[in-house]
């Protein structure tokens, strides 16, 4: 007999409640990760997240080995694989950390039911969000749809988020491990062409890398965070998003490390401002999960139903291609889309500008942009990506006003005044003769006016 720990979006050994409970249970521990792209409703991973997942599993395998175990890799329908594993190992317990998307919850519920019916102690834990969506309700007992009161009600709770659980030092493996796939056989890495060549230099994937990113943030970035986070040429943000996406670090660890850092620095007003702002961005992640939980179709259905009849233009393949390749002739948009190609990441300010350009200047349905980011971002997240695209479109909960159209030229002047970010990704873009920099594919003013006309179909524009 043994205890099975099924890891999913929680590829870490520290502050992992399911793993900690399994070790506590006292029986040999089997740790499994399942690549499931076949169960109903599960969205297949994008290319960039697959790249991340590969490296994250390498790092996790190493961690698990150091604890005395082995990470078992399986591919296929989770329910079938878990059933088979329970039988094969004669497990008495099955533990996992909770997920919040609807197809995942349905799948987990059915597996839990099956396990319990078979006499297995099946148990799930809170690990990847600070505040579980069903615990944050308005005075009218409804889910929050506005960020500020949502976050206020979270941070004003009488008890703060629980302390992180320390990393285990060892556990007992079973006498015989179940068979595992070879990670390479999953083909998660791109080959022809290998578009992820430069990712290796940019990212330190895995649990250790996640904690190094957090340390780096405290060492050299947090003191500029509140002001600097809008300037894409600066490295002022934490770049923790892909680590959080795969749960290589938990929000509990980040929350308490930030609190501790604040205390260590003497709680000065400057540190407090920056730390509060940083935690509130983590709050946007919580808010996005709150939305995903209550509105499971966040990635495909307009939160604001008025958008269901919005006259999106045709997604002209050449125009869409120019946006995807970073060849729109609009420097800030192109720099962002090229950052995305080169690193699998894009600065938040530029994400907003590039998304607004697609939705408003090109009048292309936000879902097409969401799908592109899903495929190309290393941090592509089922909650944050969908919520953010709807936010930019104006169709979302607590969204940007739809009639506000970002002007990429003014945004560049304001947030990249020396052109450093543009230079980083476009080179000598100011000299078309040298670099062949393209003419703008559209006229910004004309398309802005066209968007405002289209928005009139939604009703009153203030």
> Which member of 74, 351, 360, 367 binds ligand FAD (CB under 6 A)?
351
Nearer to ligand FAD among residue 45 and residue 377 (C-beta)? 377
Cβ pair 29, 2 in contact under 8 A: yes
Which residue's CB is nearer to ligand FAD, number 97 or number 388? 388
Q: Mask: binding to ligand FAD, 244-273, rule CB under 6 A, as x and -?
A: xx----------------------------
Does the protein bind ligand FAD through residue 384 (CB under 6 A)? Answer: yes
Q: Under rule CB under 6 A, which residues in 288-317 are in contact with ligand FAD?
A: 288
Q: How many CB atoms lie within 10 A of CB 184?
A: 9
Residue number, 339 or 379, with CB nearest to ligand FAD: 379
In this structure, the chain runs to a length of 462
Compute how many other C-beta atoms are within 10 angstroms of the C-beta atom of residue 396: 25
Give yes or no for residue 281 binding ligand FAD (CB under 6 A).
Answer: yes
Segment near ligand FAD (CB under 6 A); pick from 54-62, 66-74, 114-122, 382-390 = 382-390
In the chain the first and final C-alpha atoms are separated, in Å, by 66
Tokens of 137: 């309700």
Which residue, chain included where needed, has tokens 């919520």?
387
Q: Write phi, then psi, for 29 (nearest 5 degrees).
A: -115, 130
Nearest to 100 by CA among 248, 247, 274, 229: 247
53 is an interface residue for ligand FAD by CB under 6 A: no
| Residue window 153-172: x/- pattern of binding to ligand FAD, with contact defined by CB under 6 A | --------------------
Strand partners, 4: 30, 94
User: Does the protein bind ligand FAD through residue 355 (CB under 6 A)?
Assistant: yes
- Contact between 389 and ligand FAD per CB under 6 A: yes
Between 25 and 229, CB nearer to ligand FAD: 229
- Nearest Cα neighbor of 180 from 73, 95, 307, 286 is 73
**Which of 361, 385, 390, 395 touches ligand FAD (CB under 6 A)?**
385
| CB within 8 Å of 191: residues ≥ 6 apart | none
Contact status: 239 vs ligand FAD (CB under 6 A): yes
Collapsed DSSP state (helix, strand, coil) of residue 80: helix
Is residue 380 at the binding interface for ligand FAD, with CB under 6 A as the rule? yes
Output the 3-class SS for 262-273: HHHCCCCHHHHH
* Sheet architecture: strand order including 71-75: 71-75, 29-35, 3-7, 93-97, 121-125
Tell me how far, at minimum, the Cβ of 56 lies from ligand FAD, in Å.
15
Q: Binder to ligand FAD among 4, 53, 154, 282 (CB under 6 A)?
A: 282
Nearer to ligand FAD, 359 or 422 (CB): 359
Question: Does 285 help bind ligand FAD (rule: CB under 6 A)?
Answer: yes
Closest residue by Cα to residue 237 from 248, 251, 226: 226
* CB closer to ligand FAD, 55 vs 349: 349
339 lies in the site for ligand FAD, by CB under 6 A: no
Q: For 178, left (φ over 0), alpha (ψ -120 to 50), or beta? A: beta
* Cα 373 to Cα 47: distance, rounded to the nearest angstrom: 10
- Asked if 238 interacts with ligand FAD (CB under 6 A), we say yes
Which residues of this protein are in contact with ligand FAD, per CB under 6 A? 229, 237-241, 244-245, 281-282, 284-285, 288, 348, 351-352, 355, 373, 377, 379-381, 384-385, 388-389, 392
């Amino acid at each position: 007999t043994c205890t099975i720990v099924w890891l999913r979006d929680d590829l870490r050994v520290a502050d992992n409640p399911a793993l900690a409970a399994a070790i506590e249970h006292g029986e040999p521990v089997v740790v499994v990760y399942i690549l499931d792209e076949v169960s109903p409703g599960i969205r297949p991973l994008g290319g960039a997240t697959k790249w991340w997942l590969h490296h994250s599993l390498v790092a996790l395998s190493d961690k698990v080995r150091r604890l005395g175990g082995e990470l078992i890799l399986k591919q296929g329908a989770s329910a079938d694989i878990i059933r088979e594993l329970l039988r094969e190992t004669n497990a008495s317990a099955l533990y996992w950390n909770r997920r919040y998307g609807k197809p995942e919850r349905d799948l987990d519920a059915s597996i839990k039911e099956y396990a319990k019916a078979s006499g297995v102690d099946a148990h799930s834990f809170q690990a990847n969000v600070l505040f579980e969506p069903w615990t944050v309700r308005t005075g009218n007992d409804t889910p929050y749809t506005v960020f500020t009161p949502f976050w206020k009600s979270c941070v004003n709770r009488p008890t703060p988020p629980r302390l992180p659980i320390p990393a285990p030092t060892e556990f007992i493996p079973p006498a015989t491990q179940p068979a595992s796939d070879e990670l390479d056989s999953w083909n998660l890495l791109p080959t022809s062409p290998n578009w992820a060549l430069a990712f290796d230099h940019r990212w330190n994937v895995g649990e250790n890398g996640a904690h190094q990113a957090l340390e780096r943030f405290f060492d050299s970035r947090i003191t500029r965070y509140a002001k600097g986070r809008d300037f894409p040429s600066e490295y002022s943000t934490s770049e923790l998003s892909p680590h959080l996406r795969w749960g290589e670090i938990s929000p509990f660890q980040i929350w308490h490390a930030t609190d501790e850092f604040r205390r260590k620095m003497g709680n000065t007003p400057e540190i407090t401002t920056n730390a509060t702002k940083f935690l509130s961005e983590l709050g946007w992640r919580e808010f996005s999960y709150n939305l995903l939980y209550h509105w499971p179709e966040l990635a495909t259905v307009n939160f604001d139903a008025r958008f269901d009849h919005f006259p999106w233009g045709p997604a002209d393949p050449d125009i869409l291609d120019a946006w995807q390749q970073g060849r729109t002739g609009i420097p800030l948009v192109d720099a962002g889309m090229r950052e995305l190609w080169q690193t699998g990441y894009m600065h938040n300010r530029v994400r907003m500008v590039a998304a607004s350009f697609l939705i408003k200047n090109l009048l292309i349905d936000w879902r097409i942009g969401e799908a592109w980011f899903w495929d190309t971002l290393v941090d592509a997240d089922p909650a944050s990506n969908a919520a953010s695209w709807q936010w930019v479109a104006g169709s979302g909960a607590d969204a940007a006003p739809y009639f506000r159209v970002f002007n990429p030229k003014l945004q560049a002047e304001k947030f990249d005044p020396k052109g450093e970010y543009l230079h980083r990704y476009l080179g000598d873009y100011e000299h078309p003769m040298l670099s062949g920099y393209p003419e703008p594919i559209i006229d910004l003013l004309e398309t802005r006016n066209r968007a405002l006309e289209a928005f009139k179909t939604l009703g009153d524009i203030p």
